[in-house]
A and B are shown apart, each in its own frame.
Chain A
Amino acid sequence: MKYLLTGDEAIARGAYEAGVHFASAYPGTPSTEILENLAKYEEICAEWAPNEKVALESAIGASIAGGRAMASMKHVGLNVAADPFFTFAYTGVNGGAVIISADEPGQHSAQNEQDNRNYAKSAKIPMFEPANSQECRDMVLESYKLSEEYDTPIMIRMTTRVCHGKSIVECGERQEVAIREYVKDAKKYVCVPANAKVLRRNLELKLAKLKKYSETTPFNFEEIKSDKVGVIASGPCYHYAKEVFGEDASYLKLGFTFPMPDDKIRAFCQKVEKVYIVEENDPYIEERVRYLGFNCYGKDLLPKYGEMTPDVIKKGFFGEEPAVIAYDESAVVGRPPTLCAGCPHRGFFYELGKRKNVMISGDIGCYTLGFAKPYNALDSCICMGASFSIGHGAQQVFNMTEDKKMRVVSVLGDSTFLHTGMNSLVDVIYNNSNTVSVILDNRITGMTGHQENPGTGYNAKGSEANMIDIEALVKAIGIKHIRTINPNNLKEVSDALDEFLALDEPSVIITKWPCALKKFSKEDKEEFPGAFTKKMAVNRDKCIGCKMCMKCGCPAISFDAENKKAVIDGIQCVGCGVCSQLCPKDAIEWKED
């Protein structure tokens, strides 16, 4: 049966067909939809984990117990999971195990552009690079066979366009694979140095065999049409290159890129006069080709960053610019992402941004947008769960200055707190930091598109789950000063900040209000009755056109310059009421239905 699938959907489909028993992930663009789709299959136990390290570790456990297992994550997620990743290469598997890394050339939704192919090489874990959705499905099936045959986890390196691009996939049926027998085997799974040294030597033997596989697998294939021009490409770059070099050039398409097929590369390079390398991120293939002694065109001409789409290849290799319409684009205004109308972070950032002599340590999530105008309420954002610890370190140094005037407020979301922020809060309490730590609890994992997390009371399948009480957890860690507030009430926000900034001890503010886009659970309906059920409108007789309401940066509020009145867009407004608290004339009123 043929389906039009995204790469993420095709990975899930492949896992389903391969008889996968267990899958775990933490949401991260562009990998999120893999687990979302795995969760739709009754046969698969698919779970959200609090972070990628936990996701991979539980997949390792499932594999050791004899099940086929998958862990999926975005590229930076593999940094979090790197610790188990490296040693998993040593132990190998019982049931087959596959790790998906979704890289982001062009940084559409990420803080960096790291090339995780380097991880496969560094950890010595075999790697596939699919170019389209069909290959995503096929390579997952092949990975499980390979994983069990060679006793090794397999990594599949995707990129944004593969994850979120749709193409046609020929699918098959699920093959039920029996759970393998669990055999206690300390020499294989207990990585004390005595065992690990043996495993390390064995790993080289496995890699030597996998090198042979790399030379013969049909996933590394040649298309010889020309003895003049040869292109070596991996991932979607193969398709991009075809748009540029056409059907008349020769290609070596690499789908299995660790270990590399050196003999195949040598043979190909000898068949053509000029070799072009097209790949995204680092010159991973190119360095191998040069190491094997062949000259080639690659990152010397192409950009070292961004996506290698056909226009980029044409410009880099041949200096060709596309013929585009010459028009006056000067009037176009940027459209950066913003906090949505009704976003519960708005009121908090509005108040926080007004504070002087405060460093605001931020984190990864929708609330990262607090850095932008009109809030200007974020000073740093490095990685998941970092805000409390970066804030703590900064405060320690500020406290060494003579006037000690700088204070730190650290902010992160509920899902990010449960990801790795908890550890940082332990640091804060243990080292008695006088930072103000803020958990922006919007009852969901927001930025990635509303995934459940351990704090929401539901699991990846949508079934009820044990709900972690964030306030109780914070208390248990040892924080004495805790205040849970409604962030849409500006006075509550301001009072909490005043009180805790005056303290010389650790404190935590929890802002608790659901994301305006969230589908309310029955618990949400009980806890936040009437939320987002009414709208607000400007009473034009009262409005004096002072634009105070616009200072909260709500996309639903615009200004009618002709009549000098603020206007609220009735489609976007969800009635959070933040703007009405800024109006000096009480001109923003509840709308009658």
Chain B
Amino acid sequence: MTKNVLLVGVGGQGTILAAKILTQGLLEAGYDVKMSEIHGMSQRGGSVSSHVRYGEKVESSTIEPGAADILVSFEKMEALRELKFLKPDGIAVVNEHEMPSMPILTGDAVYPKDAVEEIKKHVKTIVLNATQMALDLGNGKVANIVLLGTIIKAMKLESIDWESIVKKQVKPAFVDLNLKALRCGMDAVNL
């Protein structure tokens, strides 16, 4: 059965690297893997998403609405935007980090107050502040790796040798930091 992991966020948050490490691990674990993402204009502070699909044999590289087993949102409002992609019995992971978009900054709209509450009403939801956890580890940029840790735990992929995968994907000086971040994310999931 093909599994669907949807990572969403704002351009520049590191969804692409998180998806890259994830897919590399799945490849080495022997799964057929496909990933789809959009580069280009959307990266300039717009909404971004990475679709990751794995299983015995994967056809389409994109995830349909209502088909994601897990929705991992790097930003709070984006979780609410993309909730339609989650299976009704799927898991939502929400980073409690707010990034106001331009209509909010220009005063034409307000940031939704109860995004997490609305999501919790419908699906199993894991809320964490990955950005703060990353800052506590000394580098706000590894929030993406914290969130990758939540995927690994929630999708029961702990048996893959993530340490060796991370070592191949990040610069030597950042390996320890990334592994700590990964562990933080895994620990944040208690299903």
Contacts and interface: CB of A to CB of B under 8 A. Distances in A.
Contacts of B115: 331
B80 interface: yes
Contacts of A322: 64-67
Interface in A542-565: 547, 550, 553, 555, 557-559
Interface in B82-124: 83-86, 88, 100-115, 118-119, 121-123
A167 B88 contact: no
Most buried by B among A161, A236, A374, A571: A161
Most buried by B among A166, A311, A340, A553: A166
A109 B105 CA distance: 24
Contacts of A236: 60-61
A309 B74 CA distance: 25
Interface in A210-261: 236, 239-240, 242-243
A323 B84 CA distance: 9
B106 A553 contact: yes
B11 interface: yes
Contacts of B170: none
A328 interface: yes
A355 to B, nearest CB: 20
Given A166-B61, A243-B60, A108 B42 contact: yes
Interface in B13-45: 23-24, 27, 32-45
Contacts of B36: 161, 164-166
Contacts of B168: none
A325 B39 contact: no
B44 A325 contact: no
Nearest to A2: B27
A328 B33 CA distance: 33
Contacts of B66: 322-325
Contacts of A340: 44-45
Given A239-B61, A333-B103, A333-B112, A339 B44 contact: yes
Interface stretch (A291-299, A365-373, A495-503): A365-373
A4 B88 contact: no
A194 interface: no
A160 B81 CA distance: 23
A240 B60 contact: yes
Nearest to B122: A325
A555 B64 contact: no
A447 interface: yes
- By DSSP majority rule, is chain B's interface helix, strand, loop, or mixed? mixed
Interface string B40-63: 111111110000000000111110
Given A165-B34, A311-B64, A333-B101, A30 B40 contact: yes
B40 A108 contact: yes
Nearest to B79: A332
Contact of B35 (A108, A166, A447): A166
A325 B86 contact: yes
A547 B107 contact: yes
Contact of A325 (B11, B32, B83): B83
Contacts of B42: 108-109, 337
Most buried by A among B58, B65, B111: B65
B136 to A, nearest CB: 15
Interface in A2-32: 2, 4, 29-30
A239 B27 CA distance: 19
B100 to A, nearest CB: 5
A109 B46 CA distance: 12
A327 B121 contact: yes
Contacts of B103: 333-334, 336, 373
Interface in B106-151: 106-115, 118-119, 121-123, 140
A553 B105 contact: yes
B65 A166 contact: no
Interface in A521-572: 547, 550, 553, 555, 557-559, 571
Interface string A432-454: 00000000000000011100000
A338 B45 CA distance: 6
Interface in A308-360: 309-311, 322-329, 331-340
22 contacts: A4-B23, A30-B39, A132-B34, A165-B34, A165-B62, A168-B27, A243-B59, A309-B60, A309-B62, A322-B65, A322-B66, A324-B85, A326-B122, A335-B78, A335-B81, A337-B43, A338-B45, A448-B40, A449-B39, A449-B43, A553-B106, A555-B45
In the A-B complex, the 5 residue pairs with the closest CB atoms: A109-B40, A331-B112, A29-B40, A337-B46, A337-B44
